[in-house]
């Protein structure tokens, strides 16, 4: 008759039964997003909850659970409900280059009409000759400063016409992309299924 015992309990003759070091090592960790993201923490909690649910389902499915065990399971279900309302925050650095190559009408860079004020002084230092009432020429020297004050109105369309200015520039851009997603929206059905099962193990209806 075939034995139901594991192979490690079967009789072995002539074989070295010395325990050997385990080859399995540490279970590989799931890849995680950048440290700024809280997703690995949530997924780790989810994996732990699934493992606990499987443990209870395997060893206590046909056995009555104690009040304390049911309370612990109910607490896990409540924690999952609270976790559903949390956000998963994903963030990643972004590097790109923006190239600007465009022509702009010069008249669009200025107001349609504007004024240029002028205020300056013209120094005079000259010799003048004038004719007096008697018809005799008179010579005299002028040394003074003449102030000039004026406002020149400018019409952009008339002043610049269709002239354009071209701007060519390459600019590196570094930014950080962030996005938040509700866990309920991302894993709603999966979380609800786990919560329902835990509530059944705890002997209560899902609320």
Chain segment 38-91, per-residue pLDDT in tens: 666 767 777 777 766 666 555 555 567 778 888 888 888 888 888 877 877 777
Tokens of 170: 């390459």
Q: Please, are residues 80 and 147 in contact by the beta-carbon 8 Å criterion?
A: no
Whether residue 190 is predicted with pLDDT greater than 60 in this model: the reply is yes
Contact assessment for residue 183 and residue 80, using Cβ atoms and an 8 Å cutoff: no
Rounded (10°) angle between helices 67-84 and 183-202 = 170
Query: 6-15, 86-95, 159-168: which range is least confident on average?
Result: 6-15
Q: Is the separation of the CB atoms in 184 and 85 below 8 Å? A: yes
Both tokens assigned to 5: 């015992």
């Amino acid at each position: 008759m075939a034995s139901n015992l594991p192979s490690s309990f079967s009789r072995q003759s002539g074989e070295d039964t010395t325990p050997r070091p385990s080859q399995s090592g540490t279970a590989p960790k799931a890849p995680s997003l950048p440290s700024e993201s809280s997703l690995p923490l949530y997924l780790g909690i989810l994996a732990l909850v699934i493992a606990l649910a499987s443990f209870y389902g395997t060893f206590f499915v046909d056995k009555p659970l104690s009040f304390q065990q049911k309370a612990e399971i109910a607490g896990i279900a409540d924690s999952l409900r609270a976790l559903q309302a949390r956000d998963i925050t994903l963030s990643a650095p972004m590097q790109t280059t923006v190239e600007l190559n465009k022509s702009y009408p010069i008249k669009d860079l200025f107001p349609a009409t504007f004024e240029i004020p002028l205020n300056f002084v013209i120094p005079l230092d000259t010799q003048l000759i004038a004719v007096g009432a008697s018809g005799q020429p008179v010579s005299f020297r002028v040394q003074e400063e003449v102030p000039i004050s004026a406002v020149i109105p400018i019409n952009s369309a008339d002043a610049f016409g269709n002239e354009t200015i071209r701007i060519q520039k390459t600019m590196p851009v570094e930014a950080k992309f962030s996005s938040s997603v509700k866990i309920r929206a991302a894993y709603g059905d999966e979380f609800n299924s786990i919560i329902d099962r835990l509530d059944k193990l705890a002997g209560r209806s899902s609320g």
